[in-house]
Amino acid sequence: MSATHPYAQLLGDRDPLMVLAETQQRIPAIAHTLGTDGLKRTYAPGKWTAAQVLTHLADCEIAFGFRVRQIVAEPALEIQPFDENRWARHYNQVDGLTAAETFQMLRAWNLSLFRRLSADELASTAPHPERGPESALTVIRIMAGHTLNHLAQLEKIIAG
């Protein structure tokens, strides 16, 4: 069921690990290019600022990384969804450059694990309460597509 997840579809046939590695560098570079003033801008009226997008990406690095670890280590446990809007309540109080650096370090840590996983581990599944069984690889694909989605928002902010 999760193969049709919109973020997995956004990834298409690209290698998720390559996308994760490329965006690990690209996203913090955008944050530094935007600078303090640019991080306060949004990509559309009523949407998150660049700093809030970066904070969300750092949070999601924790959440998706945990999901993969849980699926591989404890496949019988149900994957816990989260409400991004509740998590975002304090995003306006986070420094965007700190969020970008945190994202970059967490991404490096996640990639170091993902690259070590065997084919059997990547195929391991755990139940998601809304989408059914989800494999570790599916979560990684969703993670990569999710990053591409937010990268496009940050690039829109740069384009002004």
> What are the angstrom distances between the C-alpha of 17 and each of 40, 85, 117, 145?
30, 27, 12, 11
**What is the second-level CATH architecture of the domain 2-159?**
Up-down Bundle (1.20)
Question: What is the number of other CB atoms lying within 10 angstroms of the CB of residue 52?
Answer: 20
Residue 159 has pLDDT above 60, yes or no: yes
Report pLDDT for 1. 41
Domain extents in the chain: 2-159
Residue 96: helix, strand or coil by DSSP? helix
Average pLDDT value for residue range 12-19: 94
Q: How does pLDDT run across 39-94, given as a tens digit for each residue?
A: 999 999 999 999 999 999 999 999 999 999 999 999 999 999 889 889 989 999 99
Q: Over range 134-159, report the average pLDDT.
A: 96
Gyration radius from the chain CA atoms? 16
**pLDDT score for 63:** 96
Task: Enumerate the H helices of the chain as residue ranges.
Answer: 6-11, 16-38, 50-73, 84-87, 96-114, 119-123, 136-159
d(CA 10, CA 112): 23
Each residue of 102-136: pLDDT tens digit? 999 999 999 999 999 999 999 999 999 999 999 99
pTM of the model: 0.94
* 22, burial (CB in 10 Å: exposed 0-12, middle 13-18, buried 19+): middle
How many C-beta neighbours within 10 Å does residue 30 have?
A: 21
Query: Quick one: pLDDT at residue 8?
Result: 82
**Does residue 3 register a pLDDT over 60?**
no
